[in-house]
Structure 1
Amino acid sequence: MSTQDRPLLFTPLIRQPGEPIPDWIFGPTGVAGLPAPLTPPQGVNVAVGIDIIEVERIRNVFEKHGERFLKRIYTDNEIAQCRGKAARLAGRFAAKEAISKALGTGIHGVKWREMEVVQLASGRPSVRLHGVAMLRAKQLGLSAFDVSIADLAQFSIAIAVAIQTSQKENE
């Protein structure tokens, strides 16, 4: 089979399980303009989001807006766990951006406080979704979310992985 004849593997989590992939995602020519046919996802489907942010940016916003900034972006649990430390706040900020990307909405589709990143007793971050973020996850058939955060003096980076296992037959 030549490279041109091989199907494209494509697993966008931008639709409800069982619904066709929207043609617009492939640009003006749609599916017809692709160099090879699509292979629908089988079994487990994964969505990934990643984000990096400068710690200094979060520090400056926190210093300027204080409690107003915290209450707009973070839940009470997150605020308590971060204890005002800019690197921790930046890590959770990046994680929320990564989660929104994995949800396929970007930050405009969900609210900051609907995505909660809390630290378990082991130190591992855990994701809790609320409101529209939870509804979006259910709509996509997401059964699990995982997040990892790395903090440095200047940057915080986070990656979020969502797992979709509840797909309908004959997709």
Structure 2
Amino acid sequence: MVVIGVGLDLVELPQFRALYVLDDLVVLGRVFTSFELSEAEHSTSRIDRLAGRFAAKEAVSKVLGGLQQGTAMTEIEVRASAGQPTIHLSGQAALRAEKMQIKSWLLSITHTQNAAAAVVIASG
């Protein structure tokens, strides 16, 4: 396994709450996939879960060199069906990862009372 990149992001929960009104599906749909929104629906702390997912998307974006023109945040999807969060890419994000020869991602998300953070390791 060769480490290709590491990304880290921290989201302050008060600012996240102010930016993302949780009942505005139009705004949320620009950042989160329907799967991510559905998964968060079943969480007791929806805002924390979405903030963690947002931090993970930003961390992945940093590894990929930022979101290129034509790349949407929804092309980076965070799933945690079995407990361990995983990264699923589509569209331009997937093409960029393929060009960088990224074969797998490791992801860790953590929360405090006021913040959510994520770190990703991309390997080839």
Interval of TM-score (by shorter of Structure 1 and Structure 2) = 0.7 to 0.9
Instruction: State how 1:131-170 maps to structure 2 within 5 Å.
Output: 131-164=91-124
Match of 1:77 among 9, 17, 35: 35
Between structure 1 and structure 2, the one with the greater Rg is 1
User: Matched residues in 1 for 2:57 and 2:35: separation?
Assistant: 14
Amino acid across the alignment from 1:129: L
Amino acid across the alignment from 1:139: K
Q: CA deviation at 1:138?
A: 0.6
Q: Deviations over 1:70-111 (max 9, x none)?
A: 1000001100111271111110000000001111x2134532
TM-score (ref. length: structure 1): 0.65
Taking CA–CA contacts closer than 8 Å with sequence separation of 6 or more, which of the two structures ends up with the larger relative contact order? 2
CA RMSD of aligned residues (A): 1.8
Question: Across the two proteins, how many residue pairs are aligned to each other?
Answer: 120
Q: Any idea what SS the aligned residue of 1:73 has?
A: coil
User: Matched residues in 1 for 2:12 and 2:3: separation?
Assistant: 31
The question of 1:44 aligning with 2:2 is answered: yes
Matched-pair identity in % = 34
TM-score (ref. length: structure 2): 0.88
User: Matched residues in 1 for 2:80 and 2:20: separation?
Assistant: 21
Q: CA deviation at 1:59?
A: 1.3
Q: Any idea what SS the aligned residue of 2:117 has?
A: strand
Gap regions ≥5 residues in structure 2: none
Q: Deviations over 1:16-70 (max 9, x none)?
A: xxxxxxxxxxxxxxxxxxxxxxxxxxx7233000000111222112228711221
